[in-house]
């Protein structure tokens, strides 16, 4: 667990860990894989699932409090692993009703930078 947490928390390479905990690079990589598999098996049902209507409502309210009406707070760094974005690819966006400048919208959005795809649900605010 020590090597896995150090790698994830500090972005350390496997070969840099060996001096700290005195294990080989291959053991470090295997430990990280087992740690991640354990986390997934424990938390899959709660955190690695499609958002429910209640989840979406809660996220939208939180976004509004912070000045971003209609925004969904998802980590777009894991685009290829996200159930949320898998649904968007199939053109099934969760409904989210909100108004900005008098315009009514029915789908949420995520803030992104210029490296992400040009999807209606990814608002590219940062160049």
Q: Name residue, tokens 């309210």.
A: 61
Q: Which residue has the tokens 């005195």?
A: 22
Closest listed residue to residue 28, CA positions, set 54, 3, 45: 3
The string over 19-50, giving b where at least 16 C-beta atoms fall within 10 Å of a residue's C-beta and e elsewhere, is: eeeeeeeeebbebbeebeeeeeeeeeeeeeee
How does pLDDT run across 8-40, given as a tens digit for each residue?
Answer: 888 888 888 877 788 888 899 999 999 999 988
Predicted confidence (pLDDT) at residue 73 exceeds the cutoff of 60: no
The answer to whether residue 74 scores a pLDDT higher than 60 is no
pTM for the model = 0.43
């Amino acid at each position: 667990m020590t090597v896995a947490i150090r790698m994830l928390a500090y972005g350390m390479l496997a070969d840099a860990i060996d001096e700290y905990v005195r294990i080989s690079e291959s053991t470090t990589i295997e430990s990280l894989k087992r740690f991640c598999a354990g986390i997934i098996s424990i938390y899959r049902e709660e955190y690695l699932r499609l958002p429910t209507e209640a989840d979406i409502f809660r996220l939208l309210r939180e976004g509004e409090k912070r000045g971003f009406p209609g925004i969904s707070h998802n980590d777009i760094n894991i685009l290829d692993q996200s159930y949320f974005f898998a649904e968007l690819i199939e053109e099934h966006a969760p409904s989210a009703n909100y108004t900005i400048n008098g315009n009514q919208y029915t789908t949420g959005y995520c803030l992104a930078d210029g490296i992400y795809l040009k999807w209606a649900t990814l608002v590219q605010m940062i160049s």
